[in-house]
């Protein structure tokens, strides 16, 4: 198994653990959650574009199918999976942070892994 494939599998396992910690009502029915993921996707696509990457490059680096990246970029996918968004973030050397706020909905942010 390649090093990239092992890394991708670790990320997917990490996503599974993360999703189990989130309130399932937020993931399954809250438009806010998916609006946050769409906002993050916009930022990630902008970062990839700034790097000079095409959607093909982004899909390859993330270990995703090209059609998946197109579906997300064109917003044909209405309810993106967190793990897919995280794989895209990792491909452009970013991570997704969840900022918990007392009595408020959590906010998703991205941060460069370089700091």
What distance in Å separates the CA atoms of residue 113 and residue 84, rounded to the nearest whole number? 18
Q: What is the mean pLDDT of residues 93-112?
A: 79
Cβ atoms within 10 Å of 65's Cβ, excluding its own:
10
Q: What is the mean pLDDT of residues 43-65?
A: 95
- Strand partners of residue 111: 95
What distance in Å separates the CA atoms of residue 79 and residue 77, rounded to the nearest whole number? 6
Helix or strand (DSSP H, E) at 74: none
Q: What is the mean pLDDT of residues 82-111?
A: 83
Domain 3-112: CATH class, spelled out: mainly alpha
pLDDT band at 106 (very low <50, low <70, confident <90, very high): confident
> pLDDT at residue 104 above 80?
no
What SS3 state is found at 106?
coil
Task: Give the pLDDT confidence of 6-33 residue by residue, as tens digits.
Answer: 555 555 555 555 555 555 545 544 677 7
Instruction: Please indicate, yes or no, whether the overall pTM of this predicted structure exceeds 0.95.
Output: no
């Amino acid at each position: 198994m390649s090093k990239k494939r092992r890394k991708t599998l670790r990320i997917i396992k990490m996503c599974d653990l993360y999703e189990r910690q989130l309130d399932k009502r937020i993931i399954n029915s809250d438009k806010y959650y998916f609006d946050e993921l769409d906002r993050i996707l916009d930022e990630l696509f902008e970062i990839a574009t700034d790097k000079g990457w095409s959607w093909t490059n982004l899909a390859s680096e993330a270990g995703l199918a090209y059609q998946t990246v197109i579906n997300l970029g064109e917003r044909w996918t209405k309810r993106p999976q967190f793990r897919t968004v995280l794989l895209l973030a990792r491909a452009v050397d970013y991570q997704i942070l969840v900022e918990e706020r007392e009595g408020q909905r959590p906010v998703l942010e991205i941060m460069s892994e370089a700091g």
